[in-house]
Amino acid sequence: MKTKITKILMSLLLLLPTTAFAGGADINFAASLTNNAFKDVVRQIGMASAYRGVAPAEPQGITGFDIGAEVSFVDLDTDVFEFVMEDAPSYLAVPKLHLRKGLPFGIDLGLSYSQIPDSNIKLIGGEIQYAILDGSMATPALALRGSYSTLQGVDDLNLSTMAADVVVSKGVLMFTPYAGAGLVRINGDYTGDNTILKSTLTDQDMTETRVFAGVQFSVLLLRVTLDAELGDNNIYTAKVSLGF
């Protein structure tokens, strides 16, 4: 059984980066882009690219390890993205590889990498999570999570995010529901060579709130996690991973 689960997950990990997800497209800025529209683009790309733990608050433990593949479906405002993406879809699928490792003292570290097929969009991110409460049969787990992400591959845009979240969870049999909220700091600036846009677009720095909830289902080494982040642009994520 464990061997079969391992084969399934490894096949998914190998196929995910090259799967042709609908909506993959290059980001290129139109000369008609206004500064207000640029602000909206930075906000939406920032929230879409911000790191997501997609995990409960319980610490992995010093021997804990979780490796998986996930995909997020990001709700896009097509009226805004028509300035930066040809045939912008209403939802953009973002595949990702995700790794988490437990350390002593209730600390977890995480890394993620994403490359959207047929697109110049690449994302790299990392997290550190500290469990204030480990959780027990009777009490929930509570954790603080800090994270960072950066956008790569887009010549016209330099963008990075920093986030701080509070996460609470409580396991019930094979299910572990969780919920959280936090702040996302977004920094973005135009780096293209269009002289009009250089003189029009200003550097953007903003702080956004996010609220999310999900549930993790575990059988043996297999973990399936569903996550929803609600806001101006909803983001839905599904992850399949091996964890122990």
Q: What is the pLDDT of residues 33-58, one digit of tens each?
A: 899 999 999 999 999 999 999 999 99
**What pLDDT is stored for residue 3 in this prediction?**
52
Average pLDDT score over the chain: 88
CATH number at residue 174: 2.40.160.20
Q: Is the dihedral of CA 36, 204, 158, 15 positive or negative?
A: negative
Domain extent, residue 24, equals 2-243
Are residues 139 and 130 in contact, defined by beta-carbon separation less than 8 angstroms?
A: no
pLDDT, one tens digit for every residue, the chain (244 residues): 445 544 544 455 444 444 434 444 688 888 888 999 999 999 999 999 999 999 999 999 999 999 999 999 999 888 888 888 877 788 888 999 999 999 999 999 999 999 888 888 999 999 999 999 988 888 999 999 999 999 999 989 999 999 999 999 999 989 999 999 999 999 999 998 999 999 999 999 999 999 999 999 999 899 999 999 998 889 999 999 998 8
Interatomic CA distance for residues 101 and 195, integer angstroms: 46
**What pLDDT is stored for residue 135 in this prediction?**
82
Coil/strand/helix, residue 38? helix
**What pLDDT is stored for residue 5 in this prediction?**
47
Q: What is the pLDDT of residues 152-195, one digit of tens each?
A: 999 899 999 999 999 999 999 899 999 999 999 999 999 989 99
When divided into structural domains, the chain yields a total of 1
**What pLDDT is stored for residue 106 in this prediction?**
94
Interatomic CA distance for residues 209 and 75, integer angstroms: 16
Coil/strand/helix, residue 80? helix
End-to-end CA distance of the chain: 15
The residues, any chain, with a CB within 8 Å of residue 11's CB and separated by 6 or more, are none
